[in-house]
Structure 1
Amino acid sequence: MLPLVILSGNSDMATIPLTQYIFESQFSTNYTLAFSSYLLASLPMLIVYIIAQKWIISGVTQGAIK
């Protein structure tokens, strides 16, 4: 909510969730644009997880075995 209040006049400095919020209006939602932006926002996290999956899983199992 804070970025929405602070950056209300300047759309050049909007954060990713704030930009995604623009796709949802009061009476309609552009689902194609909204879901594609959600996919693009989550894509870097998925790529990092796929690359580091071996180390993440080993860390979780080592912490559970204690």
Structure 2
Amino acid sequence: MTEEFKTPASQREANKRYREKNKEAMKWQSYRRGAKNYIMNRATQADLDEIKTWIAEKEKELNIN
């Protein structure tokens, strides 16, 4: 039984090479997507208030260094 794909084999191979070569970038993008998805689709007002506190703390940390 063969699998049928919408993307050509050459594109799938290129995607695989990119993911292997750029593991850190892929990890960063995954974290970012996850955070955005949580904020946009799941977070309550209490969650958003806590996240705002974390952001303010991180901004202070980045400005000090």
* TM value normalised by structure 2: 0.32
Q: Which has the higher contact order (CA 8 A, sep 6+)?
A: 1
The structure having more radius of gyration, on CA atoms, is 2
More helix by share: 2
TM-score of the superposed pair, with normalisation by structure 1: 0.32
